[in-house]
Amino acid sequence: MSHISEILDFNQKFVENKEYEAYLTSRFPDKKMIIITCMDTRLVELLPKAMNFKNGDVKVIKNAGAVISQPFGSVMRSVMVALYELNAEEVIVVGHHGCGMAALNADHMINSIKERGISEEVLSTLENSGIKLTKWLRGFDSIQEGVIQTVELIKRHPLLPPGVPVHGMIMDPTTGALELVSEGYTSN
């Protein structure tokens, strides 16, 4: 049985048994917060438990490394939508120890891209179009650096409403312990 078949079979029973009722909420975050965090599998259930939020409490945006690399990209657009349309009032960037983005090697990944069937011609076209894959696939030297850079990018964004606190935290992906590395209430 494929993963998709398993998901669809489970989902049918989930809906038939009305298990969704335990998760009913509105699209507006009750705690008026946006959490930007890493897509690491260890954080899927640990992060909400360690931060004491449940379905409906916060908007969660996940990507590799909890990094916003483009000030006008899709992650920052999601932040703006949450702030302007969904009543969010605060942002927390949560990185974690042992993040794969800290060890990301652009050259290694480009080799993997080639091994998986992407041609030199495609890579050359991207490079000649101004897309520098080695820059785009760059990680960060330390998790603290990555979190602080993202916090600063958000805080300096020209569309960020005045007075919105932007915080930075680092989580231990084993215990869930949080370390505050940038507190946004005093820096506004």
Which residues are registered as beta bridge partners of 62?
A: 37
**Cα 100 from Cα 140, distance rounded (Å):** 10
Q: Is 99 annotated as a binding residue?
A: yes
End-to-end CA distance of the chain: 53
Q: Which part of the chain is CATH 3.40.1050.10?
A: 3-104+139-182
Cα distances (Å, whole numbers) of residue 6 to 3, 19, 22, 107: 5, 17, 22, 36
Does 107 belong to an annotated binding site?
no
143-169 residue pLDDT tens? 999 999 999 999 999 999 999 999 999
Instruction: Enter the tokens of residue 159.
Output: 């569309």
Q: How many whole angstroms from its chain centre is CA 149?
A: 14
User: Each residue of 44-69: pLDDT tens digit?
Assistant: 999 999 999 999 999 999 999 999 98
187 pLDDT band (50/70/90 cuts)?
Answer: low
Q: Given 3.40.50.1000, 3.30.1540.10, 3.20.20.70, 3.40.1050.10, which CATH number is that of 3-104+139-182?
A: 3.40.1050.10
138 pLDDT higher than 90: no
The Cα diameter of the chain in Å comes to 54
pLDDT at 114: 95
What are the helix (H) ranges across the chain? 3-16, 43-51, 74-85, 106-115, 120-128, 133-136, 143-155
Contact at 8 Å (CB) between 137 and 109? yes
- What residue has token string 């657009």? 77
Q: Looking at residue 186, what is its pLDDT?
A: 84
Global pTM value: 0.92
Distance CA 152, CA 154 (A): 5
